[in-house]
Amino acid sequence: MANQFDYDVIILGGGPGGYVAAIRAAQLGLKTAVIEKENLGGVCLNWGCIPSKALIRNAEIIGILGRGREFGFNFENLTVDYGVAVKRSRQVSNRLVKGVGFLMKKNKIDVIDGFGVLNDAHSIQVEDKAYSTANIILATGSSPVVLPGMTVDGERLLTYRQAIVQDKLPGSLLVVGAGAIGMEFAYVYNAYGVDVTVVEMLPHVLPNEDEDVADVVAKSFKKQGIRTLANTRTEAVEVAETGVNVTLKNLASGEEELVLVDQVLVAVGVRPNSDGIGLEKAGVASDRGWVLINSVMQTNISNIYAIGDLTGKLALAHVASAQGMVAAETIAGDETQPIDDYMNMPRCTYCNPQVASLGWTEAQAREQGYDLDIGQFPFQVNGKALGLGEREGFIKIISDVKYGEILGVHMVGPEVTELLPELSLARMMELTPAEIARNIHAHPTLSEVIMEAAHATLGHAIHT
């Protein structure tokens, strides 16, 4: 790299994309710095993926305790303390954030605190100091979208950012948006006794997932006491002294309903954190704020790269990390694996039952004109699932009749987020269901359902 610059690469943003890019760049011998305005680890470690999973674990335990008779135990006067759950989630988060700080020091990466702004293609300003660099990786992430006319106050109206740290729960909650974030919070709050309603404007909850999967989750939520309203739009939100008045409209019938809740959680999507970071000064092209990239994360400016939520590809931490590695390797001139296909990135939702998927849904595959072999196998006849007392759900494998190519995988049930890697690896290595079916799976395990679903695509599942 040229010696006229302070750094070989500066990463703007220290989230799961930025800090991974920094580590990989440093491993490849590049002099590296990360500029972070708030917290290393970004939203994922501090306000999203990690603390929410700690809270979900608490909710799972409460669910098991509530089924005590089934397992042969009981409690008298059982009490649960949500404040302790939040405290534990912060401890988990802080531990991992400290770990990222340690990795920065270990890899001799400079961490610059502050809000960075591009001066040009080779300079970033942080307060009164400019840092020069041969290459830049933009990793500034995203922020939650708020409904028009709505002001988040942290008391009545919230996004995940406020919800993840509040240690006192409302009596009732309306969740606007039935994607992963909305469904996970709905599950946790309901477990602690909150009266929860979830509203989704699209035809079914988890609108990006296969409809059969969404149906299982919706039915399970109903059993748990969570009301889900699909095909329903939030027309108006009015904060009152006694709570929040929300007008809902059923898009099929046109009927309106007025509900009064203590809090509203908005989880309808994200917007790019691209305002005010100097894209125009550096000449970086964007579309409605989303930075445009090629398959190696390069923008229209050859030495500037962008990764993570900022690119609008798929707002998931593991996607950002994968992009970060590709960007760092490309800058270093090392061998890398360009990313052209985001459809086959793994997708996970951690409510109960869990959801995990990759590739096309059945409807999408048919729209593409494929003739399909579909193998589906339920957890209710799986020995390990029965032993766990977790019988809901299934695994569905969608493949192309002509070549046996796996087009999509859709799972709903116990720990399916842990089962997905076998199938994402199979998809990457272009394995067919026939080869997965012949791969011997240990017994008794949940993973046997993958094997049985693979057999089912061939027309001969064993245990059904």
Query: What's the farthest any 2 CA atoms get from each other in the chain?
Result: 71
Write down the mean pLDDT value for the chain: 96
Give the CATH class of 7-144+271-332: alpha beta
Q: Which two tokens stand for residue 346?
A: 């793994």
Per CATH, the homologous superfamily of domain 353-457 is FAD/NAD-linked reductase, C-terminal dimerisation domain (3.30.390.30)
Q: At what angle do helices 180-191 and 211-224 cross, to 10 degrees?
A: 20
Q: Which two tokens stand for residue 46?
A: 């501090």
Q: Is the pLDDT of residue 416 over 70?
A: yes
> What is the reported pLDDT for 442?
97
Q: Is the pLDDT of residue 275 over 80?
A: yes
**CA gap 124, 12 in Å, rounded:** 9
Nearest to 279 by CA among 41, 12, 19: 12
How would you class 91 by CB atoms within 10 Å of its CB: exposed for 0-12, middle for 13-18, buried for 19 or more?
A: exposed
**CA gap 384, 377 in Å, rounded:** 14
Contact, 341 vs 319, CB < 8 A?
Answer: no
> What is the reported pLDDT for 1?
53
Hey, what long-range contacts does 336-344 have (CB within 8 A, 24 or more apart)? 336/296, 338/295, 338/296, 339/295, 339/297, 340/295, 342/313, 342/314, 344/424, 344/427, 344/428
Q: Is the pLDDT of residue 253 over 60?
A: yes
Which residues have a catalytic role annotated? Answer: 443
Q: Is the pLDDT of residue 2 over 60?
A: no
The predicted model gives 206-228 an average pLDDT of 97
Say whether 182 sits in a helix, a strand or coil.
helix
Question: For residue 440, how many other CB atoms are within 10 A of its CB?
Answer: 7
pLDDT in tens, 8-31: 999 999 999 999 999 999 999 999
pLDDT in tens, 346-363: 999 999 999 999 999 999
Q: How confident is the model at residue 148 (pLDDT cuts 50, 70, 90)?
A: confident
If residue 16 lies in a helix (H) or strand (E), which one and from where to where?
Answer: none
Name residue 360's amino acid: W
Q: Is the pLDDT of residue 464 over 90?
A: no
pLDDT in tens, 230-245: 999 999 999 998 899 9
pLDDT in tens, 382-401: 999 999 999 999 999 999 99
pLDDT in tens, 290-312: 999 999 999 999 999 999 999 99
pLDDT in tens, 116-134: 999 999 999 999 999 999 9
DSSP assignment of 63-88 equals HHHTTHHHHT---SS----HHHHHHH
The CATH code for residues 157-268 is 3.50.50.60
Q: Which residues of 223-302 form beta strands (DSSP E)?
A: 227-229, 232-240, 243-250, 256-261, 263-266, 270-272, 286-287, 290-291
Same fold, 7-144+271-332 and 157-268: yes
The larger pLDDT score, comparing residue 33 to residue 150, is at 33
pLDDT in tens, 37-54: 999 999 999 999 999 999
In the chain, % of residues over pLDDT 70 = 100
> What is the reported pLDDT for 194?
98
The domain segmentation of the chain, as residue ranges, is: 7-144+271-332, 157-268, 353-457
Q: Is the pLDDT of residue 97 over 60?
A: yes
Q: How confident is the model at residue 313 (pLDDT cuts 50, 70, 90)?
A: very high
> What is the reported pLDDT for 147?
87
**CA gap 123, 117 in Å, rounded:** 9
Say whether 135 sits in a helix, a strand or coil.
strand
**CA gap 116, 127 in Å, rounded:** 8
> What is the reported pLDDT for 166?
95
> What is the reported pLDDT for 149?
82
Contact, 174 vs 265, CB < 8 A?
Answer: yes
> What is the reported pLDDT for 323?
98
